[in-house]
Structure 1
Amino acid sequence: MIKAQQLDLAKCQVCRGRAVIRGIFHELDCLQCNASGWVTAETGEALPLEVLVRQLSIRLQSAEQRIATLNSFKPAGAEAQYQQNNGRGAGGTNYTGD
């Protein structure tokens, strides 16, 4: 099984990464980047759609993994005590003393 390598991508200079360009009365798909907003960093050319889908999928999976890692952070020690509700404030809310 061959593993796909992550390519260096850059925002399209024509549409500035928006995937569309402004016409007179409406927006048109950007032809420079195949309406994706991304081009190869080295050449500035549009990727074929099959390669583009794979590259965006690799980037999405990486971003989801980073988000999951950041969301799994659990405070410990004094910070955990500071964050939990101690019921000592007005109406049973959290009172931190600061």
Structure 2
Amino acid sequence: MKRVHGPAFRAAQLDLAKCPVCRGRAVIKGVFHELACVQCSASGWVTADTGEALPLEVLVTQLSIRLQAAEQQIEQLKRPVPMFGPDAQYNENNRRGPGATNFTGD
């Protein structure tokens, strides 16, 4: 095992799983009303390997890491896909038509 002095330079992403008791809802059904889940500290997330609740400071960091990764993935999916082949040539402006507009040959 490596000796480590001080905190880590980067926060490592932990494997999280939905709480098996509340099924990720953070509340459990009581007799008359919903109660905060005690197993996951009302967060809906537990560690995947042990099933224990995370401390709130660690949980906030882990959820922030996951949110940033999800936002980055959404931004990548929003980018237009570059076209290749005849379709790209048909849709781009080739300035060969009247008034330097697109001429497709149709």
For normalisation by structure 2, the TM-score amounts to 0.70
The alignment's C-alpha RMSD in Å is: 2.0
2:44 equivalent in structure 1:
37
> For this pair of structures, how many residues does the alignment match?
82
Please, what TM-score do these two structures have when normalized by structure 1? 0.75
The 5-angstrom pairing of residues 10-89 of structure 1 reads 10-74=17-81, 76=83, 78=87
Q: Which 4+ stretches in 1 moved above 2 angstroms?
A: 73-79
Alpha-carbon distance, 1:6 to partner: 0.0
Counterpart residue type for residue 50 of structure 1: E
Structure 2 gap segments, 5+ residues each: 1-7, 92-106
Kindly provide the amino acid, as one letter, of the partner of residue 42 in structure 1. D
Unaligned runs of 5+ in 1: 83-98
CA–CA distance in 1 between the matches of 2:17 and 2:80?
Answer: 31
* Larger Rg, first or second structure (1 or 2): 2
1:65-98 CA deviation, whole Å, 9 max, x = no partner?
Answer: 000000012352538x79xxxxxxxxxxxxxxxx
2:66 & 2:40 partners in 1: Cα distance? 17
Per-residue CA shift, 1:33-79, capped at 9, x if unaligned? 01111000010000000000000000000000000000012352538
The structure whose residues are more often helix, as a share, is: 1
